[in-house]
Homo-oligomer: A and B are copies of this chain.
Amino acid sequence: MDLTFSPAEEAFRREVREWLAANVPDPALPSGDTREGFAAHLAWERRLFDARLAVVSWPEAYGGRDASLWEWIIFEEEYYRAGAPQRVTQNGIFLLAPSIFMFGTQAQQDRYLPRMASGEETWGQGWSEPEAGSDLAGVKSRAVRDEAACGWRLSGQKTWTTRGAFCTHMFGLFRSDPEAERHRGLTYFLVPLDAPGVTVRGFGRLDGDEGFAEVFLDDVFVPDDCVLGEVHQGWGVAMATAGSERGLTLRSPGRFTAAAGRLVDLWREHADPTDSGLRDDVTRVWIDAEAYRLQTLEVVTTLSGGGHSGPEASMVKIFWSELDIRIHELAQRILGPRAELEGPWSKGWQFSLSGPIYAGTNEIQRNVVAERVLGLPRK
């Protein structure tokens, strides 16, 4: 057991910290879930990319640094500690890219990854449909083979596409074999949102920002090279992506240790220090953020040694999403009657409430823990 970073890793940390100190916008950018804010965030993404900090763990050829998972952890810690802008590119970089690395052809990797890293192309997920939310295998959107045109024609409706009204592309599952049921006969497509037949309608999330979109597809043609992985094998590709969403890469510990740190600052500024109940609660979430960071270090040790992440990822998702709520709930309690005012804490509180819902509700995650970690019977 060795809990120290190497001199090279510490040097990387210093570089990141210094660059962020010099470059993080002040005042903060407007919300990236508005049209105006999204544009401002893309400019920020471009600066990250130019500093080769947009995708540190990717190969140099695609704009990264071939950084290790440890360096990625360091980067994320510093990024959140600096209060740097949210990553509006995250659903591409963290959800789609791992699947492109795993299932994409060389041509697809070369085509999509650099533009994703630079923010030139931005991606929203096309998972949910009006009748298929938690039950993702219930998707009804269709892909019909167009043999003559060497491609597919997509129809149907996707929804809950994050920042879909501002993104250039969507990835998602379509039913390519109408005879197959549930998990079978689905294909994973990469869809440009400017293709003829696509209509995007943005809508507001809890805090009113236009953070989501419905995407209507009416006989939208995409060529064969927009299929990721094998035809009809999209479920496996999607599950790898969903694994990324729940697992390591999307919810780096830096996010929660930084939030717990901000809560401690808020406590110092506004709370009654003799209120031992509040002290206890603030300390509890601070410890939990540490526990989350340490558990991630265990997982990274496993992955760095060639191991895999399994259904334990569902525990991680339950833990961070509930921790995030408790952090923000405490902030609201400290703010008292001012908690209802618009501001970073009330926005954070509202955002935290999405945690137990998206990326598979926590109810589904608890089923997974029970059945696949503990081995309880499905039926």
**A interface vs B, CB < 8 Å?**
274-281
Contacts and interface: CB of A to CB of B under 8 A. Distances in A.
Contacts of A276: 274-278
Main secondary structure of the interface of A (DSSP, over half): helix
Contact of A280 (B274, B277, B279): B277
How many copies the complex holds: the figure is: 2
A275 B276 CA distance: 6
A279 B281 CA distance: 14
A275 B275 CA distance: 7
A117 B281 CA distance: 51
Contacts of A275: 276-277
A279 B278 CA distance: 12
A276 B274 CA distance: 8
A278 B277 CA distance: 7
A275 B280 CA distance: 10
A210 B276 CA distance: 42
A277 B274 contact: no
Most buried by B among A275, A276, A281: A276
Given A276-B278, A277-B277, A277-B279, 6 more contacts: A274-B276, A275-B277, A276-B276, A276-B277, A277-B278, A277-B280
Contacts of A278: 276-277
Contacts of A280: 277
A141 to B, nearest CB: 28
A277 B279 CA distance: 9
A280 B277 CA distance: 8
A285 to B, nearest CB: 14
Contacts of A279: 277
Contacts of A281: 277
Nearest to A280: B277
A279 B279 CA distance: 14
12 contacts: A274-B274, A274-B276, A275-B276, A275-B277, A276-B276, A276-B277, A276-B278, A277-B277, A277-B278, A277-B279, A277-B280, A277-B281
Pairs of residues from A and B, 7 with the lowest C-beta to C-beta distance, nearest first? A277-B277, A276-B277, A275-B276, A277-B280, A276-B276, A274-B274, A274-B276
A97 B274 CA distance: 54
A280 B279 CA distance: 13
A24 to B, nearest CB: 37
A336 to B, nearest CB: 15
A326 to B, nearest CB: 15
A281 B277 CA distance: 9
Nearest to A281: B277
Nearest to A279: B277
A274 B279 CA distance: 13
